[in-house]
Amino acid sequence: MEIMYQAQLNLGDVDSPVPMIRTKETLDLLSVSDVLRVTVARESAVQNIKTLVSNNPFELLSLSKEDNQYVLLIKKL
């Protein structure tokens, strides 16, 4: 089953902490229950975003790797 998302960020090979900051800014603009799709290239960005999710009213719905990029689907609670 494919998860539908309302917004998307393609942050590619951007250095930390920019991916985490952009993810937080975008999630703050979304409505409750909206899903954000984030694409990053660096594992350090994934770890920072996972920490962001665990410390805020967000839920990590999925984490996968596609074409050397990590794809995170995050729901705003």
pLDDT of residue 45: 96
Could you tell me if residue 14 is inside a domain? yes
Q: How many distinct structural domains can be found in the chain?
A: 1
pLDDT of residue 1: 76
Identify the CATH number of the domain in which residue 11 sits. Answer: 3.30.110.40
Backbone angles phi, psi at 47, to 5 degrees: -65, -40
Q: What is the pLDDT along the chain (77 residues), one digit of tens a residue?
A: 789 999 999 999 899 899 999 999 999 999 999 999 999 999 999 999 999 999 999 999 999 999 999 999 999 99
Could you tell me if residue 35 is inside a domain? yes
Could you tell me if residue 2 is inside a domain? no
Backbone angles phi, psi at 3, to 5 degrees: -85, 130
Q: What SS3 string covers the chain?
A: CCCCCCEEEEEECCCCCHHHHHHHHHHHHCCCCCEEEEEECCHHHHHHHHHHHHCCCEEEEEEEEECCEEEEEEEEC
Could you tell me if residue 1 is inside a domain? no
pLDDT of residue 65: 97
pLDDT of residue 22: 98
Residue 38's domain comprises 7-76
